[in-house]
Structure 1
């Protein structure tokens, strides 16, 4: 049935053309913005997820900055520690040279003073953004440093900031606390005064079982000097005197030095030799007053042993810092990769496939042309009705 008032074909063609126009507008918007989901009206679920993940990525970007600050602090401390190790090696080398009787110890001490001053400079200047891990008050300061490491959100939406802990108690070079000094370089290495009770010898005639240990001092110069002097004396013995040498014999050599009444030449010599040594730690030891006597030699040897012991502690500290540096660097690289992965994930949800959209646009343009043609044909049907009344 042909109707003058209702052109059904034109209405269908117009509806189809209107749909094509809407699809074209949507496709052109995707092409212009590059996004398949630009707002919540496009896809509420995907838009919500993408918005949350973008927020998390912004937080991760701030975490990257924080890790960068922590990495710089660790790197400064590590660089300073590495340089301190080299200075300490040179100190031990120069002290070893001083064991030669022909060497002027005052000149050796001049060189040692330069190393000591440099070590002080290293400890005081290893600072970044107001933080110096190598020079701290080991009583008042918080030695457990926290570096922001990551930002995480669980399934319930709860946010957690992960941190990297660095224990600096083992890497402090100079302890600024006035009462207790546990810094590697500033620690008192002389040890407490030796008493007879400190001397121990398990097996008579076996000097390897001789120990002298003062309370709380790993590298006590006084105890080591006495031990070396006893060993040297033991090595001069022969026959029965050597095979029966025991703790009582060791005590008798130094009763003067440790407060006894009996006068012994070796004990007096050790008191004098220890008096010739200046300073108490790596930063102020002064061997310039030591001579070539047997007592002075064992004191110098004990000092070298103590400084070398601190060098080992310094090496261990550098190892700890190196491990922390590697940990921070790995976390920084992980956060960068995680940020990129989140960006890719968000892109999968909301980015438009430009190849598909361009192809779709071309198809819609063709459909639009055909729709216009169909509408034109439908409108021509009404004109044909007019010809019936001519």
Structure 2
């Protein structure tokens, strides 16, 4: 039946065109954002998982920053401790030389004095962000050395882990004053800094100085080992954090990222369908105009 009030063909063509336009809008949105799940309405389950994983990734980034700060503190202290150990070894060598007969001990002391001043410079310079673990350490320092990820009743959480370093026991010197000078009357190197050879020193007195140097070296090596192990642990955690963050990004991508090859192919097909639907609607609309010819 031909009717000028109801055009069933045009209504069907229009409905098809609307459906195609809606699909094209969805596809174009995916292409422009690069995501096939950009909101909860797209896929509530995947959106929820991706949102949680992104939150975890942000927490991991914060933990990585804390690891970086801890690594800087530990590495600064370790660099200073390593340098100080080498200088103390030099002092030990000078004392051994002074033990030999006929050696000018005053000249040797001049060299030792310069090495002692170098130790002070190392102690005062091993500072990061206002913290100096080699000079003036008076407490146990806490540094972030790792993190853990765990699930608590369905809620994913990230927690940092810490380690303690006894800066009081392992301090080489006392506090640094306003002029940048260290207090060498306290700390591991107290006896080393008190060495002052004169021509009157004999083998026995020099042997006492050597014993003090050996004691200081043992303490410094112990502290250096602690700092080195902490630095190694932090380094491993930083590598793990980077790999874990990449893995989370990949996991999120698999859930919500759009396949651009697929979407571009779909868009091409829909553009063709849209053109055909427009042509079909045009034909359906022209059918009503053809009724006029019946009255001529």
| Coarse TM-score class (shorter-chain normalised) | 0.7 to 0.9
Residue 70 of structure 1 aligns with which residue?
A: 70
Residue 194 of structure 2 aligns with which residue?
A: 284
Q: CA deviation at 1:158?
A: 5.8
Do residues 345 (structure 1) and 255 (structure 2) align? no
Query: Cα–Cα, structure 1 residues 158 and 29, in superposed 2: closer, same or farther, change >3 Å?
Result: closer
C-alpha deviations, 1:30-76, integer Å up to 9, x for none? 11222212222222332233233333323332322222222111111
The CA distance in 1 between the partners of 2:87 and 2:132, in whole Å, is: 19
Do residues 163 (structure 1) and 135 (structure 2) align? no
C-alpha deviations, 1:353-377, integer Å up to 9, x for none? 1111110000101111221222233
The CA distance in 1 between the partners of 2:17 and 2:148, in whole Å, is: 50
After superposition, residues 300-311 of structure 1 pair within 5 angstroms as 300-311=206-217
Q: Match of 1:136, SS?
A: coil
Query: Cα–Cα, structure 1 residues 48 and 81, in superposed 2: closer, same or farther, change >3 Å?
Result: same
Residue 184 of structure 1 aligns with which residue?
A: 188
Normalised TM-score (structure 2): 0.85
Q: Match of 2:194, SS?
A: coil
Normalised TM-score (structure 1): 0.66
Q: Is the 8 A contact 2:104 2:199 kept in 1?
A: no
Q: CA deviation at 1:15?
A: 0.9
Residue 180 of structure 2 aligns with which residue?
A: none
C-alpha deviations, 1:1-41, integer Å up to 9, x for none? 44443322222221111100110111111112222122222
- Larger Cα Rg: Structure 1 or Structure 2? 1
C-alpha deviations, 1:192-221, integer Å up to 9, x for none? xxxxxxxxxxxxxxxxxxxxxxxxxxxxxx
C-alpha deviations, 1:208-254, integer Å up to 9, x for none? xxxxxxxxxxxxxxxxxxxxxxxxxxxxxxxxxxxxxxxxxxxxxxx
Do residues 154 (structure 1) and 151 (structure 2) align? yes
Residue 224 of structure 1 aligns with which residue?
A: none
Do residues 173 (structure 1) and 172 (structure 2) align? yes
The CA distance in 2 between the partners of 1:290 and 1:53, in whole Å, is: 73
The CA distance in 2 between the partners of 1:44 and 1:160, in whole Å, is: 24
**Runs of 5+ consecutive residues of structure 2 not aligned to the other structure:** 176-184
Q: CA deviation at 1:345?
A: 2.1
Q: Is the 8 A contact 2:135 2:173 kept in 1?
A: yes
Q: Match of 2:187, SS?
A: coil
After superposition, residues 186-201 of structure 1 pair within 5 angstroms as 186=190
The CA distance in 2 between the partners of 1:183 and 1:164, in whole Å, is: 25
Aligned pairs, number: 285
Q: Match of 1:282, SS?
A: helix
Q: CA deviation at 1:171?
A: 3.5
